[in-house]
Each structure stands twice: as C-alpha cells, then as structure tokens.
Structure 1
Amino acid sequence: MPLVIVAAAIVVLLLLIIKFKVHTFIALVIVSFLTAIALGMPVSKIVESIEGGFGDTLASVGLIFGFGAILGKLIADSGGAQRIAETLVGKFGQRYIQWAVVLVALILGVALFFEVGIVLLVPIVYQMAKQVKLPLMYLGLPMATGLSVMHGFLPPHPGPTVIAAQYHANLGMVLLYGVIIAIPTVVIAGPLFTAVARKYAPGAFAMNKKAGVLATIGDAEQRDLEDTPGFGISALTALFPVILMMIATITDLVRQAAGVDDNLAFRIVAMIGKPSTVMLISVLFAVYTMGIHRKIPMSKLMESAESSVKAVGMLLLIIGVSGSLKEVLINGGVGDYVADMFAGSTLSPLLLAWIIASVVRIAQGSATVAALTTAGLVIPLVQDSDVNLALITLATGAGSLIASHVNDTGFWIVKESFGLSVKETLATWTVLETVIAVCGLGFVLLLGLFV
C-alpha cells in the first residue's frame, strides 16, 4: 500500500498543477497533508513532519541560494558573467560550446554541492546561451549533468563519502573508479542525451521561452567588453567558493592521512569550508572585486543584492515545501517498506544495491536517504562475498540518482532555474537522471569485469 499511496500522491500533485493550475507551492502543501493522512501517520505528527521537512530543507539550502543569488547578480551586473561567457565562447566556438559547459561543470562539481553549482552556473550559462543564440536548455542540461554526476559518484560529496564509510570502502578507490565511470556517463547523459531530448521535448528548448528565476539573475545590460572586469578576476570570483571548499577538503584529508588529532585550527578550516560560510565569504569577496575595486557605490551593489534575493523568494518556498513532502514519505515508513521488500534477496550485491537504491529514491525522493537505506540492507550480504566495495559504493550512488521527480527537491530547483513546466521537467531532467543512473550501473558492471 505505501507505494500505491506514493503513486496516487504524485498523480494528485500533477493534476493540481497541470490541470487545475494550482500554484506549485500550494499544491505541494495540500499533497503533503493528504499523503501523511493516507500513510496513517498520527494526526499529532503530521504538521510536525511538514514543518520539520520545510525547516530542515531551508536550513540546508536557504543561505546557499540566498548568497548564491547575490553572488551571481553581482557578477552579472558588473559585466563579469558577460566576460566569462564571451571568453569561453571565443575559445571553444559555438560548435564545441556544450563541451565547454560540461568541462566547467565537472571542474566546479568536484567541490561544489549540486545546489551551489546550479545557483552559480545558471546565470553564466544563460549569458553564454545569449552570446551564441542558443536555447538555455541546450547548454543547461549538459551543465546539470556534470554537476549531478559529480554529486552522485565522487567524494568528497556527502552521498558517496557516507556510503563508502558504511561499506568500509577505500575512499581513494571510490574516487578513482568514480572518475573512470563519470567521464563516459557525462558524455552520454550530457551532450548526446540533450540532442535526443531536443527532438522529443522541443518546448523545453524553445528560443522564446521565458527564462527561469536563476537565469534572469544573469540577465544584465550588455556592455562593451573593455568596460567589463577582466576574465581572470571574473573567473576567480565565480570560482572562489570552489577554492574555499577545496582547501577545506584537502586540509581534512591531509589531517586524516597524517593521523593528526583534530584541534581548533582544523575546526575553523572545516567551518569555513561549510557551504553557507563559503557563500558568505564569496559574496564579500565579490563585493570587493566586482564592486568596490571598480569604484561602484555600495548602495548600487546592495540594490543588486536585494533584487536577487527577491527573485529567489518563491523558489525558496517551493524548495522548502518539497522537503515537507519528502519528510512525510520518510516518516510515513515508505523507505522501510521498500527495504523489507528486498530482505533475503539472492541477487548480485552490485545489482541488488542499485535496484534497492532506485526503488527507495523513486518512492521517497531523497538520494541520500535512498543510499543510506540501501547500505544498511546490503552490508550483511557484502560481508559474505568478495564484491568490490568501491564498486558497490558507486552502484548504490548511481541507483540513488534515478528518476528525480516531484518528491525530490532537485526536481523543483531545476524546474524553477530553467523556467520549465512540470511536464517539460519530467521529460528532460527526470529522464536525464535515469540515463545517468542506468549508465552508472552499466559502467560499474563493466568495470567489475576487470577489477
């Protein structure tokens, strides 16, 4: 019954939004309440779960999106985004511009969480699309592919790192195999899939399509190139969050490798490396490089900041309440129900890990919860087999990415970022995540033949 209830909830949500034109925010709240009741949650716990999911989600991404929007707007209004876009277009040319976007997403995606990468890159990619007169999604989908693959497969991202620890896999081997699997996956799910999606979902790629919230942050007055900041300082400002996170990650890895005890200095570095702190410091850096250094009045800089925060206000509400639906599904026992379905299975551990992670992901939305649920169920099987622990980590990560849809916060981030309808998001982003998951499994199984 829990899976039937989940399916019914999805249908009701789609009907409210698509057929009855109910605003996404209101529709998500209604469906969260109905789903909680249908799952038999105690009445006293329903509002608590909905408010808790809303609060937890905003606690994790609210500051990131707020500061990210300000950073993107400062770079855009100063002409920095235009300089980065024109330089990359000039270096790669229109023919290879998708590969330029994929390369940038892969580099930034090593250190940046998916949400941070989206909020930083969408305004720049929007400028690039304007420069070469291409639909935003033509560049945006490959960009999202690079970020998603990095987020799902490679440490130091939370999912792969935590799963590796659960399986007691060697983190270095997870990283090595993850890179080997990530490269062909990005090629297939990025530019190649985008070409296919453009044919069967042309509406998402329309040139006259209204830009999404994050894209419009990158919309600024076009200037003469000599009136924009230099490419070096513009790129440094955009990459500053990556640099801070990389420093924090490398410092922690070196500390662990050297066996040095944790102390105040390391804790300060770790605090600086947290996404919210990183984004605050990056905004202050941008205020100087994109503003004060160029003799732009502070009042004008703060006008840009205020306008960007206003632009993402409704996006934050939608993201928050999508967390409410996810929390209801988790507290309603959907993940536990799926785990029980596979208890005692005799399938190959690699395939079993991928299947369980996929089903839990589709049922309750959270990739991290799907991965951790899977690890808890598969660990007993791993103990009695010779399966490669790094590969089962990657198989679990791949399955946890599949079929992002209305119960996943990432779905709504992509929808609002690119100005898509629910139907268009399902046709592009949901299918894209499924392609990534299937390719990930395929390359894990292939690599398993040689290692």
Structure 2
Amino acid sequence: MSLIIVFVAIIILILLITWTKINTFLAFIVVCIFAGLALQLPPNAIMSSIEKGMGDMLGSLVIIIALGAMLGKQVAASGAAQQIAQSLVQAFGKKYIVWALTLTGFVVGIPLFYGVGFVLMVPLIFSVTYRYQLPAVATGLPLLASLSVTHGFLPPHPSPSALVALFHANMGLTLLYGLIIAIPTVIIAGPIFSSSLKKIVSTPLPAFQIQLIDAEKLPGIFVSFIIPLIPVILIGLTTGIQSLNHTNSFLYRFSGFMGNPSVALLIALTAATFYLKGPEQESVAVIMNRYGEAVKDVVMILLIIGGAGSLKEILTQSGISNEIVHILEGTAIPPLVLGWLIAALIRVCVGSSTVAGLTTAGILIPYITAQGVNTNLMVLSIGAGSLFFSHVNDPGFWMFKEYFNVSIKDTFKSWSVMESIVSILGLAGVLLLHLFV
C-alpha cells in the first residue's frame, strides 16, 4: 500500500506541474503534505520533515548556486563570453566553425546556467551563420549540445551539485568523470549529429538579435578564458593532489579548502569583479547590483531543489524508503540503469530536468546506500536520464523553435533528438566508466 501511495504522489506531482500549471515549488509542498498524511505521519511531523528536508538540501547548495549565478551573469555582461566565441571562431577558421562553437558552448557552459547561456549564445550563433552564410540549425546545435551536457553532467550546475549533496558523492571525482563522459558525448551529439541537419531551413527572427560589443571593448582573451574555468581548475587540482597526498599533510588540507566548490567559485567571482568590468569599466557598485539581480534569477531553482529535499525527507521519515529498498533489490535492472530510466521517465512526463533528477534521487537514496553503488557515477547516470527527449512540455523545446524559427517537426528532428543522444551517450559513458572505477 505504501508504494502505491508513493506512486500516486509522483503522478499528482506530474499532473500539478503539467496539467494544472501550478508552480513547481508549490506542487512539491502540496505533494509532500499529501504523501505525509497518506503515509500516516503525525501532522506536526509532516511540516517539521518538510522544513528539515529543505534545510538539509539547501544548506550545502545555496552558496554554490548563488555564486555561480553571479559569476555567470558577470561573464555574460562583461563581454567575456563574446570574446571566447569570437576568439575561437577566428582561431579555427570558417572550415571548422562548428567545432569552434562547440568548444565555446563547453567553456561558456561551465559558469553559465543553461537558460542564461542559451539566450546569450544564440544571437552569437546567428551573427556567425549570417556572416559566413551557414545553415543556422546545423551550425548552432553543437553549441547548444555543449550547454546541455554541462548543465546535466558537471558541477557546479544546480542539478548535478544537488545530486552530489544528496548522495554524499565526491564533487571533484564527479566533475572528473563528468568531463570524461562529456567530451565524446558533445562531439557525437554536436558536430557529428548536426552534419545531418544541413537541409533544415531556419530563418532566425530579427527580434532575437542582440547588439554585440565592439571588439576593441571586449576584455582580454586570457582573462575571458581563465576566469570562467577557475572553479574547474581548482576542483580538479584538489582531486589530483588529494589522491597523491596523505590526509594529515598541509597540502592535502589546504587543497581541500581551495578546491571546495564554494571557495573556488568565490575566488573566480572575485577575479571577475576586478578583471571583467565590461566595456564601460563599470564600478564595483554597479557590478554588485548585477549580482543582486543574478540571485533573483535562481531563487526559483533553489526553491525547487528545496522542495525535492522535503519530499526525500518525507519518504525517509515514513519508513517507505526501506520498502523501496526491498522491492528494488529484487529487480534485475542494474542500479545505474535504473536511476537513468526513472529520471528519463519523469523528464518525459514533467519536462524539467531538475525536477526529474531530484525526484529520482529522493526515491533511490536508500536503495543506492544499501547497494553500495558508486555515487559519483549515479549522479551522472541520473543527470543523463534527466535530459532525455525534450519535447513540448519543456520550455527549452519552445525556446529553440522560436529563436531558430523552425517548424515543430524540425524541432523534434534536431533539438529533441540531440537531447536524447546526449542522454543515451551519457548512460553509455557511465556504464563504460563503471567497468574501470
């Protein structure tokens, strides 16, 4: 009976989000209360569990997500992202423009949240395709594939960071494994797949063009590239150093501090504040105001993550988690595949990759703990599943269609297939890595 209640709760969550269009955070709270009452938790324990779950979930993530939002906003506003794109296009030349844009999406996608990266990069795609008379979809989709992969696979993006916290995984190893899987995934889902889309007719609307910053006013090439990558560099160095040094050594402890995602992001944000001041050489006060606006952009993401943490806590306090463990232990599906499959199903139903990933984690946490699964790989498996088959219930689907001004049929053929390729290759990469780690 308890499992039926959990199943019904998930269905209600999906219907509230997709059918009634209720705000996702509110939907999580309603479902938490319903599940708590149905699972016979004391009424006063329901709200305390919701609050505890939200607090535990957000405690380790608020700093990371807020600093990440600020860094991404400054990288975009200063022209650093434009500098990265233009420098790579010039370096690769017309013949390899698609590869240049792919690399641009990967570098820019690390500090930028997906929606911000999409809105910022698409006009740059249009400017390149117009200048060189290239097909917009075939040329631009690889960059968007890179943004999608970084969004789903790589901390410090919200969803993978939240999954790392939920599973108590290692941020550095998850990032390392994510990069190993991401590179071939981007190549196949990006340049290789997009080469089959050259016949798709796309006439981008003038309304979606932006005024680019003059080349002479852009920040330097070195700072434009290095500042967005500071968190990745520090977290990566920490993972390498700690694998070679004793836990009591000074270097081990110091690297652990510098490689903490919050510290790494704070260092990158400090560098961005003083070295990426934009074409108008903005004052610190103006930049601080921008940071305040950036945090507003991610408040709803934080609330959704908190709501998922509340649902996880309700399931834990009710004892249903142990029942889920016993049932799943009897299944023949490998845990990493099971995580991908559940996330993919919820993604198709709900449309939100964040909701799909975090809901899946809440269901599987006790099972993963009991099975002793590699939590770093489970983060990536669920992240890959949460990207599967974007369609009409995903805002990203409509953003792509409207920005590129293509038909729904062509959006399915390009955007939806690309997201599915990313998802399936992500799972394949996880399973391959599982053979060696």
> Which TM-score bucket, shorter chain as reference?
0.5 to 0.7
Query: Would the alpha carbon gap of residues 90 and 430 (structure 1) be closer, same or farther in structure 2, given more than 3 Å must change?
Result: closer
Supply the distance in 2 between the matched residues of 1:417 and 1:241 (Cα, whole angstroms). 30
2:124 to 111, 122, 131: 131
Matched, 1:144 2:148: yes
Matched, 1:253 2:253: no
Matched, 1:238 2:233: no
Matched, 1:439 2:425: no
Query: Would the alpha carbon gap of residues 97 and 25 (structure 1) be closer, same or farther in structure 2, given more than 3 Å must change?
Result: farther
Aligned pairs for 1:185-224 (under 5 A) are: 185-188=185-188, 222-224=212-214
Query: Would the alpha carbon gap of residues 101 and 318 (structure 1) be closer, same or farther in structure 2, given more than 3 Å must change?
Result: farther
Supply the distance in 1 between the matched residues of 2:63 and 2:69 (Cα, whole angstroms). 10
Matched, 1:80 2:77: no
Supply the distance in 2 between the matched residues of 1:143 and 1:32 (Cα, whole angstroms). 32
Matched, 1:365 2:344: no
Corresponding position of 2:312: 326
- The unaligned stretches of length 5 or more in structure 1 are 110-116, 165-170, 200-204, 212-218, 380-391, 406-413
CA contact (8 A) 2:36 2:318 kept: yes
Corresponding position of 1:308: 294
RMSD across aligned positions (CA): 5.1
Q: Find the residue that maps to 2:277 and give its secondary structure.
A: helix
Structure 1 position 237, deviation (Å): 1.5
Q: Which amino acid aligns with 1:435?
A: I
Q: Which amino acid aligns with 2:15?
A: L
Q: Which amino acid aligns with 1:35?
A: A
Matched, 1:33 2:33: yes
Q: Which amino acid aligns with 2:41?
A: M
Q: Find the residue that maps to 2:57 and give its secondary structure.
A: helix
Query: Would the alpha carbon gap of residues 6 and 188 (structure 1) be closer, same or farther in structure 2, given more than 3 Å must change?
Result: farther
Supply the distance in 1 between the matched residues of 2:336 and 2:14 (Cα, whole angstroms). 27
Query: Would the alpha carbon gap of residues 124 and 248 (structure 1) be closer, same or farther in structure 2, given more than 3 Å must change?
Result: same
Supply the distance in 2 between the matched residues of 1:244 and 1:267 (Cα, whole angstroms). 14
Q: Which amino acid aligns with 2:359?
A: G
Supply the distance in 1 between the matched residues of 2:278 and 2:143 (Cα, whole angstroms). 32
CA contact (8 A) 1:138 1:194 kept: yes
Supply the distance in 2 between the matched residues of 1:96 and 1:262 (Cα, whole angstroms). 48
Supply the distance in 2 between the matched residues of 1:123 and 1:94 (Cα, whole angstroms). 26
Structure 1 position 67, deviation (Å): 1.5
Q: Which amino acid aligns with 1:64?
A: I
Aligned pairs for 1:17-96 (under 5 A) are: 17-92=17-92
Structure 1 position 339, deviation (Å): 1.9
Q: Find the residue that maps to 2:21 and give its secondary structure.
A: coil
Corresponding position of 1:384: none
CA contact (8 A) 1:403 1:430 kept: no
Structure 1 position 312, deviation (Å): 2.6
- The unaligned stretches of length 5 or more in structure 2 are 127-135, 347-357, 388-393, 402-410
Supply the distance in 1 between the matched residues of 2:247 and 2:21 (Cα, whole angstroms). 57
Query: Would the alpha carbon gap of residues 146 and 343 (structure 1) be closer, same or farther in structure 2, given more than 3 Å must change?
Result: same
CA contact (8 A) 1:137 1:418 kept: no
Q: Which amino acid aligns with 1:52?
A: K
- Count residues in correspondence: 389
Higher mean C-alpha displacement, 48-57 vs 363-372: 363-372
CA contact (8 A) 1:149 1:182 kept: yes
1:297 to 283, 292, 304: 283
Structure 1 position 360, deviation (Å): 7.4
Matched, 1:376 2:370: yes
Supply the distance in 1 between the matched residues of 2:341 and 2:317 (Cα, whole angstroms). 17
Supply the distance in 2 between the matched residues of 1:194 and 1:371 (Cα, whole angstroms). 37
Corresponding position of 1:341: 327
Structure 1 position 229, deviation (Å): 0.6
Structure 1 position 210, deviation (Å): 11
Structure 1 position 366, deviation (Å): 5.0
CA contact (8 A) 1:85 1:127 kept: no
CA contact (8 A) 1:79 1:228 kept: yes
Query: Would the alpha carbon gap of residues 196 and 358 (structure 1) be closer, same or farther in structure 2, given more than 3 Å must change?
Result: farther
CA contact (8 A) 1:339 1:373 kept: yes
Query: Would the alpha carbon gap of residues 104 and 26 (structure 1) be closer, same or farther in structure 2, given more than 3 Å must change?
Result: same
CA contact (8 A) 1:163 1:372 kept: no
Structure 1 position 286, deviation (Å): 0.9
TM-score computed with the length of structure 2 as normaliser: 0.68
TM-score computed with the length of structure 1 as normaliser: 0.66
Identity of aligned residues (%): 28
Structure 1 position 238, deviation (Å): 1.2
Supply the distance in 2 between the matched residues of 1:150 and 1:72 (Cα, whole angstroms). 15
